[in-house]
Amino acid sequence: MSEAPHGAPIKTPGQLIAAVIAGFAVPIIIIVLLAYYVDNSTRTGAGTDSLSEAEVTARIKPIAQIDIRDANAPRVYKTGEEVYKAVCSACHASGAAGAPKFTNTADWAPRISQGFDTLLHTALTGKGAMPPRGGTSPDDYSDFEIARAVTYMANNSGASFAEPAQPASGAAAASGAAAASGASGATAGGASDAGAAQAAAAMAAMASVPQTAAPAAGATQSADASQAGKALYQQVCQACHAAGVLNAPKFGDKAAWAPRLKEPMDTVYNYALHGKGAMPPKGGSNASDADVKAAVDYMVSAAK
Q: In terms of Cα–Cα distance, which of 164, 157, 143, 147 is closest to 112?
A: 157
Distance of CA 109 to the CA centre of its chain: 25
Q: Could you tell me which residues come within 8 angstroms of residue 18 by beta carbon, excluding any fewer than 6 positions away?
A: none
Give the Cβ contact number of residue 107 at 10 Å. 18
Min separation Cβ 113 and ligand HEC, Å? 10
Among 187, 241, 250, 251, binds ligand HEC (CB under 6 A): 241
Min separation Cβ 170 and ligand HEC, Å? 22
Q: In terms of Cα–Cα distance, which of 138, 133, 167 is closest to 149?
A: 133
Among 7-15, 51-59, 123-131, 169-177, which window interacts with ligand HEC (CB under 6 A)? 123-131
Residue 195: how many CA atoms within 13 Å on its side-chain side? Answer: 16
Q: Is 246 in the site for ligand HEC (CB under 6 A)?
A: yes
Q: Is 292 in the site for ligand HEC (CB under 6 A)?
A: yes
Among 27, 33, 51, 98, binds ligand HEC (CB under 6 A): 98
Among 232, 250, 251, 281, binds ligand HEC (CB under 6 A): 232
Alpha-carbon span 292 to 238, nearest angstrom: 13
Q: In terms of Cα–Cα distance, which of 186, 199, 202 is closest to 237?
A: 202
Site residues (vs ligand HEC, CB under 6 A): 83, 87-88, 90-92, 97-100, 111, 114, 118-119, 122-123, 127-131, 133-135, 146, 149-150, 202, 206, 211, 232, 236-237, 239-241, 245-249, 260, 263, 268, 271-272, 276-280, 282-285, 292, 295-296
